[in-house]
Structure 1
């Protein structure tokens, strides 16, 4: 007796028992008969499909090649060509038919596969194939192939519609504003995968195929953009810096001047890895946002100048009988610029958490150099060491400016090692402080409408008193043309523009003793002369004979040598270039003087 099992099944075991021989002869004969029948069946179906076989669900059992081909052409190829195909990408779709795409069943391959089914392999494999076919479990799939270029053209058309180029992020400052282009991923159809999906089919009816799309990354994607954009936006948040009851507001456009934005190549590992299926750029970039160190230093210095409440040194006032009285000193508050710079360097790049950012500036007590106690102790030791007097013609506006300006220095004490700077001590020159519009020399020309005109008389008077005493001169400038009420070559002009640029007069107390400045004005009474003024003549080149100058031009050098116990402390040369006025002659031979 023989048992035929399918692949994966084990033939039943034959148990030999002590049976009579007459019973054994019958099973052996039956096995031989079965084997003969199987061989006859294989021979009969050598050119036909096994009975019960299907191709894509179409029954083709027992058919020979011509009939099998005809059956497949009519029941597979025709319905397949008319079936619809929907290519889907999210909520977008493109619809066509298999026939329009030129996708056809490979009938030749299907016929060959059907005729070959169950006719190779071991006897056990062949027997199993027969059993599957007879039970209706044997089905041969069919493959598709593209005919012509319709399929490629359809996929290319969809690609033109669905592809999107990536957008690289852009971050820049323009006119104090932050200009951005947010990065966007691109998308590109994977043509090979899409074609393969269209050529694969599990049904002869209408079908839907998912479009295969790959993400395309720009050179600068969100991973290299978002953090930098957040930092730049944070840095431009309007700012208020406070010290006690004082504050300074800074606008976004002003803060933009501090910000530096750099686009750099990202090194390996600096940015997250891209998905394996994505299309990567040739190089990846990222933005780095920082603050300019030099501009931050300058800005913090300016903030300190605004927010500081400097200590006030004790001053001296003269009472009746030339008795010196002490005006008490006052402690102040000074911003710690080093700490403020470090604080702002971090804080400005953090999210503000609101429409405005407020920062408390680190500050400490600013102690006066000359305290009330020191001033009181100095009173008995003070003595007059140097004086200088200048005259000016009667003029209400010049008198207002000169008296107001000189009053700012009256009683000022310059401690040892300190530097006197005219504009730092004078303060703002504005009408509400008593200053008037008067004449001044601006860019080498007389201008009668300058606020504070005449203040050069104050600076010149102080300069001469100080230089005669031998103090170190730090800065001095001559007028554009010579003014005869000042010593030749020893005037000291001062100028400050609305933008803050300035020429000043400054000197340093290089002695171990404090210097007290007194401003004293005296008024002289006019005496009648019996003379009448001549008729006014316009002072210009047309009314001045050639070679005759109202004020002659000249170049003057004045030198000063300061000694102490035979040792030279200072040796200065003060150069003055005075241009001629109203067509005067060229500069006269240099005049030199020493004192």
Structure 2
């Protein structure tokens, strides 16, 4: 009996054959087929061996072979190496720093990449390049990952191209007295920050202008929701007063104050979120709040023995209306539960002793004195003293600008000023506040010799020898002002004092310059006054006349024993006519 195994080819190995030259005895008819099988097997083994080498080659590094970004080959590099190579390429690429040209409707503009946070995110780009499969033949291009600040871009576009599209009508609820009125929304067309950002990221490195689209803008609050706010919030809110109780007393918020402080306007997306504005509410009930609150007192400077001294402030006690605002809104929507219970909280001074100590007000930096033209009791001298008292103790913080007009306000009879000679249209005539220009000149020179920045001053039309030529200043409410800027890192404290015949202004701070001096040029273009006769009366003030001339003055800043800065002032004085009061000869 013959089995299946008996029919299989038999392989015989000669016993004396060399191991290096083994031969196969194949039955007739199987020779070619066996050879083809052996060749095929060898090819498979070779392919497997070659494939393993190719895989190792393709996957060398973190970034697969054949991957490029912006034309730069990153294949085979580690993430760190790829980041370094890509950053170097971007730094050398002028497109990454050049202004981006944009078009919005028919308007064109440019924006700076740095101003809008427009950059290639190198780390994210390398992450993208590291993903995917390698390419054994050819390459794979990976787009750079670009980032931009959508809000900065939106602001830059609005500034660069101005108004575009059609603005949407924002929804709101307004009050006329105690009557609420619905303002229904309407859509518009305009810039959308996210859509603008997508357009700029997509077109930035193309080298072509980027078209930023306008989109339809629909307010987040609908007309129906506005009507609901009128009925469910606005009308109930002003239907009756609100009451705030505390341990120091009760505060009644009348409907008129509610209408002024209840905010029912939309944000930039058109969304209305009802809320109370604590600042508006406080202003609306200020007199009522004063009965239960104790205001905090700031630390301040005073003068003792002619020197500045810091006086400590004190804590106050008050209602935190910002914290109460949510409860007030809930009560305002109710018809019966309209009382909110509150506790007074400690209110710290806005300015502490430590704040003032850090300002470095420690020494007298400059002082300047001018003489009165009349006795202390004269209206003119009294006006000078009144202005000096108002300015005494003025503190100008670093970087801030002092305005004499803004500090004193209008200088009228109600403020204690009197009639004295002023120059109006080239004529001397009585006017309220006359003489304050002498205080202005004294203050100007004190700040001038302290080395502070001159912002605004104007010398007199005529020269009066009680003032230093060129470096003097007049003032007139509200058109002419005197202003200086504290351009030092220290506080500037102004002290004023007067005697029976003089006014003095001193500046206290920390000295920046060794000293400040003045050099004058000779007078030039000297002109003589003319004689003018005016009708006699209370408006006529006789004068002897003054010459006119032009002169320069240089402010010299000294440091380390030498002049390190010069500042030039020039002024042309008109000749003051010789006025005669009486009928013409």
Give the TM-score band, short-chain normalised: 0.3 to 0.5
Could you state the TM-score of these two structures normalised by the residue count of structure 2? Answer: 0.37
Structure with max Cα Rg = 1
